[in-house]
A and B are shown apart, each in its own frame.
Chain A
Amino acid sequence: MIKKIKITSHNQTFYEKVKTISGEDIAVCDRCGVCTGSCPLTIEMEISPSNIMKMVQLGQEDVMDYNSMWVCSTCNYCTARCPRGLDVSKVTEALRQIRLRTSFDKIQIDKIPKEELKDLPQIALVGAFRRLTS
């Protein structure tokens, strides 16, 4: 079934929030798709980076229900190529921030199996905690 959405002033608030936190003028995204084509991690994503931008434009909060914003590694491939000069990774970062500010942790250390934890490089753990926990 195709999802039906409503666009209300509430959507505008969400859009403004992402815009303020990211500092990016998301409204100028044309969805040309260069970000998606450039992204090395789309294979892991449920929705594409350009799809994130368009959903934020209309203030659709369910953009945060998909895993894409967590998958984004901020490699900035998209930013280097965006013809409208947008920094898409700043937008995914803003979305993560909004989610994390609700006392949300994307990863929990006690849920990671001990064996796995042993093998993980420390830098990966530090990076993950900084980016993925509140």
Chain B
Amino acid sequence: MRIGVYVCHCGGNISDVVDVKAVAQEAKKQGDVIFAKDYSHMCSGNGQQMVIDDIKEHKLDKVLISACSPLFHGETFKAAAAKAGLNPYLIEMSNIREHCAWVHFDDKKKATEKAKDLTKIGIEKVRNNEPLETIKTPIGKRVLVIGGGIAGIQAALDLGDAGYKVHLVEKKATIGGKMAQLSRTFPTNDCAACILGSKMADVPKNKNIKLSTSSEIEKVEGTIGNFKVTIKKKPTYVHPDACVSCGDCVTPCPVSMPDEMQWGVTKRKAIYLPIDFAVPNKYLIDGDKCLNIKAQKKTGKPSNVCKLCQKACHQDAIDFSMKPEREEFTVDTIIVTTGYDVFDATRKPEYGYGRYENVMIAPEVERVIVHKGEGTPTIDMGERIAFIQCVGSRDEQLGIEYCSRVCCMYATKLSQLLKSMANVNNEKKELYVFYTDMRTFGKGYEEYYKATQKMGVKFVRGRPAEVIEDPETKKLTIKVEDTLNNRIIESEFDKVVLSVGMQLSEGGNEIAEILKIPKSEDGFLQEAHPKFRPVDTGKDGIFIAGTAQGPKDIPDSVAQASATASRAMRLMNQGEITEEPLKAFIETDLCDGCGLCVDSCPPGAITMRDNKAVVNPVLCKGCGMCIASCHVDAIDLNMYTNKQMLAQVEAALKDKKENERIVLVFANDMCGYKLADSVGTAKKAYNDAVRIIKVPSTSRVTTKLMLQAFSMGADGILLADCESKSSDFAGSLEMATENVNKIKSILTEIKENPERVMIFQFATVMLPKFVMLMNKMAKIGNDNKPISKANREILEKNISKWLFEK
């Protein structure tokens, strides 16, 4: 074997703290190391070229780069290896920057010693690396967009225009979503219907977009490149091809009910057009309200009840016998734009919505303004109107902590519109907005707020405590502290408008369950990374945009939607997707066919064939949970093999000195390792006893490995994983916790401190917690002294016995 080692200065980032020459010298002493060089910038073009030239010239078959985090430059050096004709999986990195130089800057000597150790650990790992190939699977150009609001429309149009086949599925009878129900849009006061209507009309015109309205997602199976989708189309009882949208059917219909597209402000019939500019612009029958359909459902037989609309229709388009239809199709990627539901204001009984007739919610006022603009009869808003902000936002009494972001702006808009309409008609109108904090964050928004102030809308800082109705006059009294003036206002209004916040829609919740995508603490769908992967989800090939991801306004929703289109295209345009060969494999000769591993695998990737276990690489997620289940070590995980793991532990502990303490931290790359990198970047110092070893998930760390580590002299072991909600691997945390508890009981049995081993679930923001735990773990070694020699011998002797028993 011929190993080449490089130690990077990182332009002083490393070399200012670590004696890189000493590290290189130490590395050279290791077996099979042909040479060890130090260089100013390994990642630079010259650095990479040096690696390429050396591989060719010195016929290197393994390379270790001791530099920064492999999460940062791992791919750079893999590419360099590939250029030189070396299998990219035969190159490894030791992280002596984020995990050493940047966190031990206060002690150069200790930092250098640790850098030597980390380099040795890296050498031992790469020594055991095997050549691997990335896994390639084909991917087509078909996309499912769930939800036809403005975000869904934007994503579908972007993809359709780019030549991708889009299937847009909408639950309601028309696309357009919540934006179609707005009056005007801030900060430009564009009429929502006017700017949205043309975009909606573009959808059926686009030959690459297939639109399914009145349809719901029933089932989604499979993974990126092969999602099998089943949708269910509800019957509309009107043949869309025959209907010419004349509207003659509406007048005879005897049923009248509140129109949900109008927020109940006006009524509609059982046969109706959802909204004037509906797409598709076809009438439909509400199956829950139509007398005929209701009779049919009751008797289970075709009925002759009513049928007045059918008689009125001269196109013969109405068909009461229509049944739900199912459609199955396959797509390569999925975009989720399921939008929001407004907060249910009856949950704030002190504001009286639903009890007092003059308390409204803001979406209702949107419709009132539309009707006023059109000159159709509508609700009289009275002379004195008060807006109450933050209803269903920033309220821990409701368990809603977040700010819904748009309410300040829409209340400003609605008050401005009401005021300007009154001014035009020479009406008197007093408008008050009671707010907690005004948040006018967007482009042009502060100016819009100022313009509204200028028009005479009064903004009062204070959150109203309650609304009381006068049972006689039906006028409403608001009680509120004017917190900027230290006064209490008790005043009467004709109308009170509640600025209700946003929540993930009911449909969004269902879709999250069907697709198994995580939700964040606020109840909205969770992005893969809050900054750098804001529209990806934890699941490959599934993207999120719009208010399903969190409260946001129209410009942000549209921007996100275009971002999902581009992210989806990025994957599909390549024709094939590559995946790390992070897969379990079976040493068939060793497998004795016990079948224990089959049950240990949550995605069910392991099956038994001819009395031997077989791994399906398509299903295997590479968590490594199966490894511990095998009592003959026949199952293993590529990139993190038993050999590699043990070699790293041995390397970390073999040169341990009498007074030295070593804490092994097995950090998963998603959270633990990333967090350790962030701690390094933030230059937060912690104890130098810590040696961080990367794993795909902490369940990869078997009890055997932990016992071996303790028997070799480790003072502490910490498993650093994700919080359960962001964990990629189902069941992995539970298993790792179980393993840790086993070790704790063994430590207790031999009268050692069970605190020497622990598991912690880190969010990638928990920097101080990480530092605190690292120091605590290092101290456990110091205070309690190392594990006694006698105990280490007991551990070593009894490993197999314990594994069998526990």
Contacts and interface: CB of A to CB of B under 8 A. Distances in A.
A23 interface: no
A48 B481 contact: yes
Given A37-B463, A38-B466, A42-B488, A85 B481 contact: no
Interface in A75-122: 80-85
A48 B466 contact: no
Given A48-B481, A50-B483, A84-B396, A37 B466 contact: yes
A80 B397 CA distance: 8
Contact of B397 (A30, A47, A85): A85
B397 A37 contact: no
Interface in B289-343: none
A32 B483 CA distance: 7
Contacts of A42: 488
Contacts of B424: none
A85 B466 contact: no
A47 B488 CA distance: 11
A125 B396 CA distance: 36
Nearest to A42: B488
Interface in A19-46: 30-38, 42
Interface in B387-413: 390, 394-397
Interface string B475-503: 00001111100101000000000000000
A83 B390 contact: yes
Nearest to A48: B481
Contact of A51 (B395, B464, B486): B486
A77 to B, nearest CB: 8
B465 A38 contact: yes
Interface of B: 350, 390, 394-397, 436-437, 461-466, 479-483, 486, 488
A37 B480 contact: yes
Given A48-B486, A51-B486, A33 B480 contact: yes
Top 6 closest pairs, chain A to chain B, by CB: A37-B465, A33-B481, A36-B481, A32-B463, A85-B396, A33-B462
Contacts of A47: 486
Contacts, number: 63
Given A42-B488, A83-B396, A32 B466 contact: no
A36 B488 contact: yes
Contacts of A38: 465-466, 479
A32 B463 CA distance: 5
23 contacts: A32-B436, A32-B462, A33-B462, A34-B463, A34-B465, A35-B465, A37-B464, A37-B465, A38-B465, A38-B466, A38-B479, A42-B488, A47-B486, A48-B481, A51-B486, A81-B350, A81-B465, A82-B396, A82-B397, A83-B395, A83-B463, A84-B396, A85-B397
Contact of A37 (B390, B394, B481): B481
Interface in A29-75: 30-38, 42, 47-48, 50-51
Contacts of A83: 390, 394-397, 436, 463
A88 to B, nearest CB: 12
Contacts of B394: 30, 83
A113 to B, nearest CB: 32
Contacts of A85: 396-397
Max count, chain B CB within 10 A of own CB: residue among A34, A35, A80, A84: A34
A34 B436 CA distance: 10
Nearest to B437: A30
A30 B436 contact: yes
A42 B461 CA distance: 18
A37 B479 contact: yes
Contacts of B436: 30, 32, 83
Nearest to A84: B396
A81 B461 CA distance: 17
Contacts of B395: 83
A101 B188 CA distance: 60
Contacts of B481: 33-34, 36-37, 48, 50
Nearest to B479: A37
Residue with the highest number of chain A CB atoms closer than 10 Å, among B396, B465, B466: B465
A55 to B, nearest CB: 12
A36 B397 CA distance: 17
A51 B481 CA distance: 10
B480 A81 contact: no
Nearest to A49: B481
Given A30-B436, A32-B390, A85-B397, 17 more contacts: A30-B394, A33-B480, A33-B481, A36-B462, A36-B481, A36-B483, A36-B488, A37-B462, A38-B466, A47-B486, A80-B397, A82-B396, A83-B390, A83-B395, A83-B397, A83-B436, A84-B396
Nearest to B480: A37
Contact of A33 (B396, B397, B463, B466): B463
A50 B350 CA distance: 19
Contacts of B462: 32-33, 36-37
A42 B483 CA distance: 14
B412 to A, nearest CB: 18
